[in-house]
Amino acid sequence: MSINVFNLPDLGEGLTEADILRWLVAEGDTVTMDQPIVEVETAKSAVEVPTPFEGVVHTLHGAEGDTLLVGQPLISVSDGIEAPESAAGSGSDDAPEPTHGAGYREEELAGTRPSAELSVDEADPTAGEDEESSGNVLIGYGTSAASSSRRRRRKRGAGADAAGQAHEALAEAPRLAPTVISPLVRNLAREHGVDIAALQGSGPGGLIMRKDVLAAIDQVDDQRMRADAAGPAPTGLSAAEPAAPAPAGLTAAGGAAPQGGAAASSSPAAAGTDSRTGLPIASQEPVKGVRKTIADAMTRSRTEIPEATVWVDVDATELLKLRSELKAKDPENTPSLLALIARFTVAGLRKFPQLNARVDTGEDGSRTITRLQGVNLGLAVESERGLMVPNLRNADQLSAMELTGAMREIIQVARSGKASPAQLSGSTFTLNNYGVFGTDGATPIINHPEAAILGIGRIIDKPWVVDGELAVRKVTTVTIAFDHRVCDGGAAGGFIRFVADCIENPVGALTQI
């Protein structure tokens, strides 16, 4: 029997470790080449890791919640083929080479050789030279047609024909299954309830692509939008919209974004009693992975940036009226409220470029204010892993409808915790919609190293003076927190007033920006 040890692969971006969030297989399970076996969390995101081997899971090298270094053993997979008795060596006078209980040698445990080479055949020590794995251990890549068609060459012996038939049956199962290579695509479908088997892939050979899953999700969104059109007009950003993101914990200082997943730990009985307060401990959550990255970023923001906050109440009645009219005319091609406000935001940054900047500190301690052309608009999104701020590259070049589609796509990826490092870095200004929490205002924390963040509260009925008369209008609170090093209050006040004026007179604004 041959046991292949697969080490935790290099996940890119200079990451050296990962936390085991969830095992997707158990010892004794049968796995196929490139099947996702475990979900791990790095400092950047959560990803599913596929196995380059097929066979039976022999050993899981770690429990959920454990942290593994790149190169350490992750999983051992057995080919399930028993050695012929004649080769077992039971009557040999030679002592067997010392191994550990799992059947792999000490140097393999140390992870000193590449995973694809960690093959130990108990019947024939040279069998590992003929072994072939998929070799595709990078996240999001499957086995190529050439490599998946290869079969391992083994010595024929007792039971070899039966073993070969078992391998063929094992390989036949994935051939009959829907063609999905990327674990990200598979996970996106699962989280949104999309039946992969019902999809027609648009890729080569019927390969199911990410856009195929997104199209299926959009069909559900379209049905929801048509249902909305039949009902009352939306009452604000807190109303359900396909493109509106669930904002994350860039809210009041000291507030932490809710987080789920495997990070939460022990039960009250196991946690014991808190020595400081004498109260029972409900749970303890280690600060690591994405949560550690979030905590470090927020601490750095509050430590380095001397921020100031400005806010203004805004009459959004005309904005809601405009969107309601657009939706009645063409429900399937209507920009979201957040996309319209994003359009006003990037126009305001062109008018007040001081806020589309950052402060760079040199090795000698000198500081430089770097102002940027073009806007990479960050969106504060709450995911199961905590705060994510994906960004739309060159958002200033997109129309309101283009922003709606781009927002929908990037938000879905961020919510699933599968956003790439490139998607989570490089933003120049952040938009935070905390109105969906039912809150009116906040003091948002600037997304370091940016210079400002704009927050939008819920839109609700409030008394408002119109032409000298008291009326009930749809009102929201717009807030900006800005780095006082890059500009004074005049620029920040001018910017937020510009955005407010656009919200109050959207038709006039859209004809000029």
For every residue of 445-508, which 3-state class applies, written as one string? CCCCCECEEEEECCCEEEEEEECCEEEEEEEEEEEEEEECCCCCHHHHHHHHHHHHHHHHCHHH
The burial of 164, by beta-carbon neighbours within 10 Å (0-12 exposed, 13-18 middle, 19 or more buried), is given as middle
| Terminal-residue alpha carbon distance, the chain | 69
- Helix ranges restricted to H, 312-432: 317-329, 337-351, 400-415
Q: Decide: 173 and 54 in contact? Cβ < 8 Å.
A: no
Q: Is 448 a catalytic residue?
A: no
- Determine the residue type at 346: V
Q: What does the buried/exposed string (b/e) look like for 237-251 if buried means 16 or more CB atoms within 10 Å of the residue's CB? A: bbbebbbbbbbbbbb
Which two tokens mark 392?
């739309």
Helix (H, G, I), strand (E, B) or coil at 189: helix
Residue among 475, 481, 495 at smallest CA distance from 237: 475
Q: Decide: 241 and 338 in contact? Cβ < 8 Å.
A: yes
Residue 494 has a CB neighbour count (10 Å cut-off) of 15
- Cα–Cα distance, 154 to 93 (Å, whole number): 26
Which two tokens mark 424?
């989570």
DSSP letters spanning 59-79: EE-S-TT-EEETTSEEEEEE-
Instruction: Give me the catalytic one of 58, 100, 192, 484.
Output: 484
Residue 116 has a CB neighbour count (10 Å cut-off) of 19
- The number of CA neighbours under 13 Å toward the Cβ of 18 is 29
Helix (H, G, I), strand (E, B) or coil at 89: coil
Residue 207 has a CB neighbour count (10 Å cut-off) of 16
- Cα–Cα distance, 394 to 375 (Å, whole number): 5
Q: Decide: 487 and 355 in contact? Cβ < 8 Å.
A: yes
- Cα–Cα distance, 80 to 96 (Å, whole number): 21
* Residues carrying an active site annotation: 484
